[in-house]
């Protein structure tokens, strides 16, 4: 059986973040492709991490800047290596190149870090959401972008969660489309008969890992600019704010008199979202796809979000209202909460949207087909990507010498 080594930036936490959930989906896809999976990470193990052994996946702790990883590689001899985020490719890619040059190299980008950081900078500079959405090259072409795009080019295949980001890579960075593959979140067809009705639901909900800066900003935006005006019109309504790893500054926002209830960790995100009447996601910057909006559609919960939140999400079926200004966002939230006809119309778009954009069978089949094609034609892919070969040649030397210098320094100290 073929062995896949996954080098994780963190240990998967599917109940904490959309990234953790998607990682588990990818691991399942590789198992369907016939791979025996070995997951390794230099991160500290979290109490919320998934028990990978229950899925038949072997786990190992590895060290940064240590030749012990070379020995680990030589013993494992993986047929393929997947790097979880470009930082792991930077750290370990040269060692894979040196000891397993024939291994298929895959990068799971999660979202484009350079895009998210550029938009964050634009937001801090006072840009509107539309200006942040259409980011300038001046902000986009950062040192972080140079590192991230170099990592994408060095890999044989990069897994992209957003079609919008694929377009950006091809049109703005001239990345060959042949080395990119679109694989978003995917879901089975929703059980609509289990959805609660308009009358059976109450309150608003916001959800998202607090360690993710766009989510924390959205909570502050709700508290300061949106919720006070919603509460004036709907004095009995509550906003339930869920998310893993809430810091003290977040829990201090909890105010029962204002109906702003910071609940923190949700054991089952689908359960709490399915009971809410409206999901609020006023994201002012960010990248990738928004797992909270996929979750909302899966359980028939209409939402209000921004153009940032909606990017890459929808096509013909749109179960959300999109507003980029605080006042109109507030008005849409109040209207959707009160207007049963509008609410039902949006709920009816949820199941078709999941089928159209995030169908599990469709994306798994496409992924397995693409994976088999790259495996069988690896030499062709590499010969067609001379820039990537050049990047591997030069970066292997620079990162190798830096890592060896750090390792030697650590041994002396």
Mean pLDDT of the chain: 93
Task: Out of 138-152, 193-207, 390-404, pick the least confident.
Answer: 390-404
Strands in 260-264's sheet, in edge-to-edge order, are 260-264, 239-242, 204-207, 278-281, 303-305, 320-322
pLDDT tens, 43-77?
A: 998 888 999 999 999 999 999 988 899 999 999 99
- Boundary-marking domain end, from 320, 342, 357: 357
pTM higher than 0.85:
yes
Tell me: do 197 and 141 sit in the same domain.
no
- pLDDT grade, residue 404 (50/70/90)? low
CB 111 within 8 A of CB 161: yes
pLDDT tens, 289-343?
A: 999 999 999 999 999 999 999 999 999 999 999 999 999 999 999 999 999 999 9
Task: Out of 109-118, 129-138, 201-210, 386-395, pick the least confident.
Answer: 386-395
Tell me: do 257 and 230 sit in the same domain.
yes
The predicted pLDDT at position 396 comes to 60
Non-local (6+) Cβ contacts of 233 within 8 A are 334
- Boundary-marking domain end, from 310, 337, 357: 357
Tell me: do 158 and 228 sit in the same domain.
no
- The CATH number for 269's domain is 3.40.50.2000
The predicted pLDDT at position 400 comes to 62
The predicted pLDDT at position 390 comes to 83
- Boundary-marking domain end, from 311, 338, 357: 357
| pLDDT for 218 beyond 60 | yes
CB 276 within 8 A of CB 299: no
Cα gap 99→92, rounded to integer Å = 11
Tell me: do 156 and 57 sit in the same domain.
yes
β-bridge pairing 104-108 and 35-41? unpaired
> How many structural domains is the chain composed of?
2
The predicted pLDDT at position 406 comes to 62
Tell me: do 59 and 88 sit in the same domain.
yes
How many angstroms from the chain centroid is the CA of residue 262?
23
Query: Residue 312: which region, alpha, beta or left (left: phi > 0; alpha: psi -120 to 50)?
Result: left
The full 3-state SS of the chain, as one line of letters, equals CEEEEEECCCCCCCCCCHHHHHHHHHHHHHHHCCEEEEEEECCCCCCCCCCHHHHCCEEEECCCCCCHHHHHHHHHCCCEEEEECHHHHHHHHHHHHHHCCCCEEEEECCCCHHHHHHHHHHHHCCCCHHHHHCCCHHHHCCHHHHHHHHHHHHCCEEEECCHHHHHHHHHHHCCCHHHEEECCCCECCCCHHHCCCCCCCCCEEEECCCCCHHHHHHHHHHHHHHHHHHHHHCCCCCEEEECCCCCHHHHCCCECCCCEEEEECCCCHHHHHHHCCEEEECCCCCCCCCHHHHHHHHCCCCEEECHHHHCCCCCCCCCEEECCCHHHHHHHHHHHHHCHHHHHHHHCCHHHHHHHHCEHHHHHHHHHHHHHHHHHCHHHHHHCCHHHHHHHHHHHHHHHHHHHHHHHHHHHC
The predicted pLDDT at position 412 comes to 65
* Structure tokens that stand for 129 in this block: 């959401």
Tell me: do 340 and 393 sit in the same domain.
no
Tell me: do 12 and 149 sit in the same domain.
yes
The predicted pLDDT at position 405 comes to 56
Higher per-residue pLDDT: 233 or 401: 233
Higher per-residue pLDDT: 46 or 376: 376
Tell me: do 83 and 217 sit in the same domain.
no
Tell me: do 117 and 78 sit in the same domain.
yes
Mean pLDDT of 105-129: 96
Non-local (6+) Cβ contacts of 349 within 8 A are 317, 318, 319
| pLDDT for 401 beyond 60 | no
Task: Kindly provide the b/e burial profile for residues 60-75, where b requires at least 16 CB atoms within 10 angstroms of the residue's own CB.
Answer: eebeebbeebeebbee
Tell me: do 201 and 345 sit in the same domain.
yes
| pLDDT for 344 beyond 90 | yes
- The range of the structural domain enclosing residue 203 comes to 192-357
Cα gap 331→1, rounded to integer Å = 57
Tell me: do 9 and 127 sit in the same domain.
yes
Residue found by looking up tokens 């634009």 in the block: 122
Tell me: do 160 and 28 sit in the same domain.
yes
Higher per-residue pLDDT: 328 or 14: 328
- pLDDT grade, residue 18 (50/70/90)? confident
Mean pLDDT of 385-411: 68
Closest CA to 156 of 399, 398, 366, 370: 370
pLDDT tens, 169-203?
A: 999 999 999 999 999 998 888 888 889 999 999 99
Percent of the chain with pLDDT over 90: 85
């Amino acid at each position: 059986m073929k062995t896949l080594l996954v080098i994780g930036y963190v240990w998967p936490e599917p109940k904490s973040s959309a990234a953790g959930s998607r990682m588990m989906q990818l691991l399942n896809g590789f198992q369907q492709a016939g791979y025996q999976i070995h997951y390794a990470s230099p991160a500290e193990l979290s109490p919320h991490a998934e028990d990978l052994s229950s899925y038949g996946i072997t786990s190992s702790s590895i060290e940064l800047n240590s030749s012990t990883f070379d020995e680990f590689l030589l013993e494992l001899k993986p047929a393929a290596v997947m790097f979880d985020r470009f930082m792991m490719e930077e750290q370990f890619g040269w060692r894979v190149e040196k000891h397993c040059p024939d291994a298929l190299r895959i990068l799971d980008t999660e979202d484009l870090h350079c895009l998210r950081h550029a938009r964050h900078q634009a937001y801090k500079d006072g840009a509107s959401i539309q200006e942040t959405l259409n980011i300038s090259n001046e902000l986009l072409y950062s040192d972080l972008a140079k590192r991230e795009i170099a990592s994408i080019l060095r890999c044989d295949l990069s897994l992209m969660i957003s079609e919008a980001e694929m377009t950006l890579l091809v049109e703005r960075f001239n990345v060959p489309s042949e080395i990119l593959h679109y694989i978003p979140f995917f879901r089975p067809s929703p059980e609509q008969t289990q959805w609660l009705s308009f009358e059976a639901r109450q309150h608003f909900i916001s959800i998202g890992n607090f360690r993710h800066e766009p989510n924390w900003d959205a909570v502050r935006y709700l508290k300061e600019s949106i919720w006070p005006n919603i509460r004036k019109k709907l004095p009995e309504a509550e906003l339930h704010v869920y998310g893993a790893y809430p810091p003290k500054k977040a829990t201090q926002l909890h105010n029962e008199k204002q109906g702003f209830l910071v609940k923190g960790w949700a054991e089952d995100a689908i359960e709490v979202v399915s009971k809410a009447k409206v999901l609020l996601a006023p994201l002012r910057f960010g990248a990738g796809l928004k797992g909270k909006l996929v979750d909302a559609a899966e359980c028939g919960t209409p939402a209000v979000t921004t153009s940032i939140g909606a990017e890459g999400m929808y096509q013909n079926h749109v179960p959300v209202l999109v507003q980029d200004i605080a006042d109109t966002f507030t008005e849409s939230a109040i209207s959707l909460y009160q207007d049963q006809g509008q609410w039902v119309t949006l709920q009816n778009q949820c199941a078709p949207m999941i089928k159209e954009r995030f169908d599990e069978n469709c994306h798994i089949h496409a992924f397995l087909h693409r994976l088999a094609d790259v495996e069988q034609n690896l030499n062709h892919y590499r010969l067609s990507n001379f820039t990537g070969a050049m990047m591997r040649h030069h970066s292997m030397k620079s990162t190798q010498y830096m890592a060896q210098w750090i390792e030697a320094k650590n041994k002396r100290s």
